[in-house]
């Protein structure tokens, strides 16, 4: 998350007013998003983490589209205006692709065994941790 915000800040400081919107969107789609999404198919995101990711994304896209917070434009409106899919949608898509890859794996693979593993014994007190397969 910190690296994502750092990349967005670098783009805004260095080339934001000097380069056309289409060029910034190409840099965003080819450099920033893949850097952030590396390994995202295995993440377990809480609701607050999802909000932070969406807020960081809008930190770049809202001024790029020419809007401020006072214009009261929704995230979906800005994404449609810029013709971009959201990062959370891509994370969900990557996670689904990884799950389908799991289903095609042979039964003797270690990653598939760890996916189906159920520990024995008692669990600790408190609410159970959110699991990856519960987010599918």
Q: What is the pLDDT of residues 78-94, one digit of tens each?
A: 999 999 999 999 999 98
Residue 35's pLDDT is 85
Give me 97's structure tokens.
């692709």
pLDDT at 130 over 80: no
CA 124 to chain centre: 30
CA 45 to chain centre: 9
Residue 67 maps to a domain: yes
Average pLDDT value for residue range 99-122 = 83
Domain that holds residue 24: 2-116
Residue 122 maps to a domain: no
Residue 37 maps to a domain: yes
pLDDT class of 51 with cuts at 50, 70, 90: very high
Residue 99 maps to a domain: yes
Cα–Cα distances in Å, from 49 out to 43, 52, 71, 94? 11, 5, 25, 17
Residue 17 maps to a domain: yes
Residue 82 maps to a domain: yes
Cβ neighbours of residue 59 under 8 Å, at least 6 residues apart? 5, 8
Residue 46's pLDDT is 86
Beta strands, E only, the chain: none
């Amino acid at each position: 998350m910190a690296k994502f915000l750092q990349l967005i800040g670098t783009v805004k400081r260095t080339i934001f007013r000097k380069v056309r919107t289409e060029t910034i969107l190409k840099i965003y789609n080819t450099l920033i998003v893949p850097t952030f999404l590396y390994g995202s198919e295995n993440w377990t995101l809480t609701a607050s983490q999802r909000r932070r990711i969406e807020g960081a994304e809008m930190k770049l896209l809202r001024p790029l589209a020419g809007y401020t917070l006072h214009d009261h434009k929704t995230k979906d409106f800005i994404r449609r205006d810029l013709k971009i899919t959201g990062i959370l949608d891509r994370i969900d898509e990557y996670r689904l692709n990884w799950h389908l890859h799991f289903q095609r794996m042979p039964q003797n693979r270690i990653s598939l065994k760890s996916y189906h593993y159920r520990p024995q014994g008692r669990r600790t007190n408190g609410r159970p941790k959110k699991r990856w397969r519960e987010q599918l």
